[in-house]
Amino acid sequence: MKPLSCRSGVSGMHLMVAKLFAHNIEASAGSAQFLTAPAEKTSRSGCIFNKTQSDAGRSLTRQQKLDLCIEQIARSEGVPPFCDHANEIMVRTLDLDGGSHTKLVEVILRDVGLASQVLRLANSAMHNQSGRPIMSVAHAITVLGWLEVRSMASAVRYIEHFANRAPGLRELLLSSVLTAVQSREVAALIGYPHPGEAYICGLFRNLGEVLVACNFPAEHSKIIVMMDQEHILERAACSRVLDYSWDDVGLRVAALWNMPPAVRLPMGALSTAAASPLDRCLASLINYSHKLTRALYRKGTSIDKVHLEPVLDPAGVPVLISVRQLYAIVDLAIAETKDMFSALQIPTETLRMSTQAEQARKALEPTAVQ
């Protein structure tokens, strides 16, 4: 296999540093507990169920299908980071005493892959012996140390490795950052006491779809095409193709990775009867921001026509966000992510369902021939 490089715009310094730390890959993969992804061994049809069906020759229950999906994801590297971001991490961690900790945190918070790897490792039994969930990337870096973060960044395959067979994956990851920024701003607006935690929960709100797109691109493409052609909700399309939802996947994997319980709340882990008002507030504002991203960028709905339910404040009281406040939140999220979209050469128009569906149809064409 030819070594993967970033897009042509990556600086020589970044490529030099990437080569400098290439020798760490095998050793750091062991310490970071990442295994080689089985995706390359999977046929282009991306069928999740081939192995069990061929062995047992029988139809699978919904739970068996979900278990098999989680089993394959568990053997993968997780969510891949962007090449530019991983290389920037390696450049910044060269200067251990240069006070670049804040910049390092900023880079990781812009990347779902890096953030998931850092929090996943920091919350593992090997590093988090206190048992208290680590929700802060800055805290996670302190726990892991600079060298561990650098080794982790050099050991994983980048998202560019998956781009051709997983259409829309890059866009999914960037839309997660938009949701994260919006979640933080909504949290601050309604008085949720931990806006930084809201950002992290928003960043991982769509973890299930991201993992399906990365590990099972054919199934993901079929779902996107079905949603576009039949104008049905994503949960209905997921049920027809997978027999379970993206959130089912996200919940199971987040638990498997020892991610903080708060990350799982918006995906459906919230028990209304047992949850505290603060937990219900967090789940409410994250799902509000998630639906806002879906409406604005995937469906192309204008802000004036976005119909969203009220958000629960920390006391559990429903609060309506005005159109003026919504404009401010959306404008800030766009401004905060503008440079990232530009640097990665991804226009926001590619987040639209019609564009993703067209990419998905093209990706499915070889499968159709087979």
Q: Mind giving me the DSSP string for 40-92?
A: GGS-TT--SSHHHHHHH-SPPPHHHHHHHHHHHHHTS--SPPPHHHHHHHHHH
Report residue 25's pLDDT band, with 50, 70 and 90 as the boundaries. Answer: very low
Fold that domain 163-369 belongs to in CATH: Hypothetical protein af1432 (1.10.3210)
pLDDT above 70 (res 202): yes
Q: Where are the chain's structural domains?
A: 12-36+81-156, 163-369
Q: Rounded CA gap, 153 and 115, in Å?
A: 11
pLDDT above 60 (res 260): yes
pLDDT at 32: 36
pLDDT at 340: 86
Percent of the chain, pLDDT > 70? 79
pLDDT at 39: 38
Q: Rounded CA gap, 207 and 180, in Å?
A: 12
Report residue 13's pLDDT band, with 50, 70 and 90 as the boundaries. Answer: very low
H/E segment holding residue 311: strand 311-312
CA distances to 34, 44, 206, 237, 327 from 216, rounded to whole Å, are: 19, 9, 15, 15, 36
Lowest-confidence region among 53-62, 156-165, 222-231, 283-292: 53-62
Q: Position 107: which residue type? A: V
pLDDT above 90 (res 333): yes
pLDDT at 272: 57
pLDDT at 177: 95
pLDDT at 254: 95
Segment 73-99 shows an average pLDDT of 81
Q: Rounded CA gap, 284 and 305, in Å?
A: 20
Q: Rounded CA gap, 261 and 243, in Å?
A: 25
Average pLDDT score, the chain: 81
| pTM, entire model | 0.81
Contacts of 145 by beta carbon, 8 Å cutoff, 6+ apart: none
- Give pLDDT tens digits for 88-139: 888 877 765 555 678 889 999 999 999 999 999 999 989 998 889 999 999 9
pLDDT above 50 (res 27): no
Lowest-confidence region among 7-11, 54-58, 188-192: 7-11
pLDDT above 80 (res 71): yes
Q: Which residue has the tokens 């053997």?
A: 75
Lowest-confidence region among 36-50, 85-99, 165-179: 36-50
